[in-house]
Structure 1
């Protein structure tokens, strides 16, 4: 098992990585492209757990939090050279934003190559079980003080909100957190639908 560096060390390095990324000549284009992805990166279990969420209003702040999370992961990977170790816990809505960011592969690859870091993210390895006081929280606080509680929602509260949302989804015919439904969209019964 990998021993993780101290949160203070990761926080300091993550802060340096963030500063370098934001100073990159293509950062503005990367930010704009990530935020433009808005219609595609909304899911039934991510940003919707934020109370009174408004994509236009929240996206810029959520982008900042997502970038910080990626910088923390990059710092862990740089010091451990272990992709699994770098998949530190992240809050669900912050993780969703990172998906919009890594969906800009050319820009992100050029920026990180110039900065000299690797951005780590693999869906089947990710941990969205962030909690106040955990390793991620300690490293974040070492770099940037308190995480924004609007976006850094503890795992137990995310689960509670998702249960509430699932009741609402089911009331309109959506099942499995929006992953299934029986809507025919007005198709005639004779029209083929996937089995």
Structure 2
């Protein structure tokens, strides 16, 4: 269960942090480099749960959502005196994956933290993939003045589970294991230069 802070206080501080990020001289580099990271962050379990997902058109909106979440998490972290557990907010899988892409820009994020005097907490061992619509994360988001999170990306965990079940059936049909964690494709036995329609 998430600890609930004063919603408006978190929202106001998150908005301030977000504005500071977007006004920082390194903002352009952060956004450009995060989206160039796309070959590394196309996974099997987060982004593909978005209906008719397209890496080229969904990356920018997802980036905006990731930066908003990072601002909220930084606000919670600051207002709780550095409580990582409370700051590890519930976030939908697709947005969480984009957060990883942003945090991979280590040099820029380190500069932002130093210049803005904030920390962007993220601890994978504390992550829980049980985001539900209307949870405290949504309330902080609204209090920051950003309205209702776009439902295309802010998928309830029950919806994610249903879509993953569909995806895993499709993955299995081409020899890919559950959640894309394994496959039975033997590249050494395939003729050079061939792309089989079905493997396994």
The TM-score normalised by the length of structure 1 is 0.92
CA RMSD of aligned residues (A): 1.5
User: Which stretches of structure 1, 4 residues or longer, exceed 6 Å deviation after superposition?
Assistant: none
Equivalence for 1:125: 126
In structure 2, the partner of 1:83 is 84
The structure-2 alpha-carbon separation of the partners of 1:158 and 1:3, relative to structure 1 and needing over 3 Å to count, comes to closer
Give the aligned partner of residue 22 of structure 1.
22
Q: Is the 8 A contact 1:74 1:118 kept in 2?
A: yes
Tell me the matched-pair count.
188
Contact 2:11–2:72 (CA<8 Å) still a contact in 1? Answer: yes
Is residue 50 from structure 1 mapped to residue 54 from structure 2 by the alignment? no
- Please give the residue correspondences for 1:89-104 in structure 2 after superposition, counting only pairs within 5 Å: 89-104=90-105
Give distance in 2, aligned partners of 1:44 and 1:3.
31
CA contact (8 A) 2:73 2:121 kept: yes
Counterpart in the other structure of 1:146: 148
Question: Which residue number in structure 2 is paired with residue 193 of structure 1?
Answer: none
Alignment correspondent of 2:36: 36
Q: Is the 8 A contact 2:2 2:136 kept in 1?
A: no
Please state whether the residue corresponding to 2:188 is helix, strand or coil. coil
CA distance in 1, matches of 2:97, 2:158: 17
Select 2:181's aligned residue among 171, 179, 184.
179
Deviation, 1:124, is 1.6
Alpha-carbon distance in 2 for matches of 1:128, 1:9:
25
Does the 8 Å contact 1:44/1:177 carry over to 2? yes
CA distance in 2, matches of 1:82, 1:6: 15
Rounded to whole Å, the distance in 2 between the matches of 1:84 and 1:29 is 30
Could you tell me how far apart the structure 1 residues matched to 2:104 and 2:16 are? 23
Paired with 1:28 and 1:158, the residues of 2 have a C-alpha distance of 31
Superimposed CA distance per residue, residues 106-153 of structure 1 (whole angstroms, 9 cap, x where no aligned partner): 101101211111001111211332211111011111111110111101
- 8 A contact 1:7–1:136 mirrored in 2: no
Going from structure 1 to structure 2, the CA distance change for 1:46 and 1:3 (only over 3 Å counts) comes to closer
What are the ranges of 5 or more consecutive residues in structure 1 without an aligned counterpart?
189-195
